[in-house]
């Protein structure tokens, strides 16, 4: 599985999981998307399909009261913690260039609350981008704090907890591993699943792939529950062991997602575990290989029979639905051309109004919603109250609201981001009427 690790290590570092620092003193570096090459070939039936959207009628709605602008000078946020916006503020300095600082801003008083790090806290270098919010107040994430990289580097990864009430940052756990990325899934209000995919010694191949998962309590106590080992030589017809590429929590249950080589071909499976790590059953996902091709999932979410994922290599987004015999493709957005957000039992998605070459699309881009309980798909027009919006991202906040981030008006400028909070309950009610 050498190719898998090359993709995990190289593409994750390049594609937007940017290097920043614990104290927020330096500007993050972001690669030019035009410089990224895509080392894979899509299956023939999807080669000429940059994006796929469902064919449903587009309705209209009264959007005047729903767009709640949340803008502060130079500040862009990505979560709401204890009534405070958590994000990054950029200040332009003639001597230092753009200086970025992570902080909290009170949603009512507009007061800035700096983060209080431990003494001599080191700079962080890279992270998986995954995080968990517990009780609407505590923000957990893993990052690597290793300054030098080499082929034999063991990365110093730390689990931190930010208290959205006080701004205090604590170190909850630490580890050393050969890849810097640790991923997370929320289990409930007090616990989350944390896991990593790393290398392990092997007597048969260059190295084995090891997936280790633990359950953490909000106080930092943990219990390892899963340790799966996988081996597959380049000339092997059948792989051995279980490869878990990503975990997800679906209706309170833990699922591992991965592939196996069987008779010379890769097939995909879901592995259902209990909270003690006991494997309850293995479910085949037929037809999934025709959708993902040779890519690996960077993010993966399960809701009922729906699989939502984003790939490493091209940062393409997909929504699929499992049936008894195959996997149906509902949405595809190559190179991030369609953004999605998952809020409780709804999946929202929208086509970006600019392509990967920053050329504006001269067409309407409605907002879609899937009610995963009923399976109904609806679409509504999405008239943003901006003269010439540039959609960057659509994401779900931990409280169920949606956050739409625009890179200015007309021309993309990350220093002039415009953000809107869209109340989740109001959105769902609007689409219920439309559906």
Among 44-53, 125-134, 246-255, 285-294, the range scoring the smallest mean pLDDT is: 44-53
Among 68-72, 266-270, 391-395, 423-427, the range scoring the smallest mean pLDDT is: 68-72
Which residue do the tokens 């090891």 mark? 210
d(CA 172, CA 161): 7
Q: Is 335 helix (H, G, I), strand (E, B) or coil?
A: helix
pLDDT 10s digits, 83-101:
999 999 988 877 777 888 9
Report which of 420, 428, 389 is spatially closest to residue 70, judged by C-alpha positions. Answer: 420
| pLDDT category of residue 320 using cuts at 50, 70 and 90 | very high
Give pLDDT, residue 286.
96
Bridge partners (DSSP) listed for residue 389:
409
Which residue do the tokens 């810097």 mark? 180
Higher pLDDT, 305 or 13: 305
Higher pLDDT, 126 or 49: 126
**Residue 114 in contact with residue 102, Cβ under 8 Å?**
no
Domain parsing of the chain, residue ranges: 1-23+115-284
Q: Is 269 helix (H, G, I), strand (E, B) or coil?
A: strand
Contacts of residue 133, Cβ cutoff 8 Å, sequence gap at least 6: 79, 81, 139, 140, 186, 398
Give pLDDT, residue 48.
55
Give the tokens for residue 369: 């919603």
User: String of b and e for 102-129 (b: at least 16 CB within 10 Å)?
Assistant: bbbbeeeeeeebebebeeebeebbbbbb
pLDDT 10s digits, 141-173:
999 999 877 767 799 999 999 999 999 999 999
pTM value is: 0.88
d(CA 136, CA 246): 25
Which residue do the tokens 């999946």 mark? 347
Give the tokens for residue 75: 């500040």
Q: Is 387 helix (H, G, I), strand (E, B) or coil?
A: coil
């Amino acid at each position: 599985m050498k190719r898998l690790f090359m993709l995990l290590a190289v593409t994750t570092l390049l594609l937007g999981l940017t290097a920043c620092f614990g104290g927020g003193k330096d500007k993050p570096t972001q690669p030019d998307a035009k410089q990224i090459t895509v080392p894979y070939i899509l299956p023939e039936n999807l080669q000429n399909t940059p994006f796929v959207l469902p064919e449903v009628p587009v309705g209209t709605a009264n959007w005047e009261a729903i767009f709640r602008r949340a803008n502060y000078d130079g500040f862009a946020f990505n979560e709401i913690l204890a009534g405070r916006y958590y994000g990054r503020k950029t200040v332009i300095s003639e001597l230092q260039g753009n200086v970025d600082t992570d902080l909290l801003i009170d949603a009512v008083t507009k007061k800035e609350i700096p983060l209080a790090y431990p003494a001599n806290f080191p700079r962080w270098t890279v992270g998986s981008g995954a995080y968990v919010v517990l009780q609407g107040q505590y923000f957990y994430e893993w990052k690597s704090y290793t300054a030098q990289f080499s082929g034999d580097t063991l990365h110093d990864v730390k689990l931190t907890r930010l208290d959205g009430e006080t701004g205090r940052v604590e170190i909850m756990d630490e580890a050393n591993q050969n890849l810097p990325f640790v991923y997370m899934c929320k289990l409930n209000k007090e616990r989350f699943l944390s896991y990593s995919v790393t290398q392990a010694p092997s007597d048969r191949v260059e190295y084995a792939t090891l997936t280790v998962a633990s359950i953490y309590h909000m106080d930092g106590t943990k219990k390892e529950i899963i340790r799966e080992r996988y081996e597959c030589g380049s000339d092997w017809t059948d792989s051995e062991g279980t490869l878990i590429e990503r975990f997800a929590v679906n209706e309170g249950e833990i699922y591992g997602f991965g592939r196996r080589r069987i008779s010379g071909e890769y097939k995909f499976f879901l592995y259902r575990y209990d909270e003690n790590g006991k494997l309850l059953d293995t479910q085949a996902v037929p037809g999934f290989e025709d959708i993902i091709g040779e890519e690996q999932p960077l993010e993966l979410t399960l809701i009922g029979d729906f699989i939502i994922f984003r790939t490493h290599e091209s940062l393409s987004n997909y929504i699929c639905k499992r049936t008894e015999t195959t996997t149906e493709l509902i949405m595809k957005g190559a190179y991030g051309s369609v953004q999605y957000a998952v809020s409780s039992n709804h999946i929202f998605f929208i086509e970006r109004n600019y392509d990967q070459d920053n050329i504006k699309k001269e067409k309407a881009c409605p907002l879609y919603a899937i009610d995963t309980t009923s399976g109904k798909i609806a679409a509504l027009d999405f008239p943003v109250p901006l003269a010439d919006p540039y959609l960057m991202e659509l994401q779900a906040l931990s409280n169920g609201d949606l956050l739409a981030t625009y890179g200015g008006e007309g021309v993309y400028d990350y220093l002039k981001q415009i953000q809107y909070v869209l109340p989740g309950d109001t959105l769902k009610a609007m689409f219920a009427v439309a559906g």
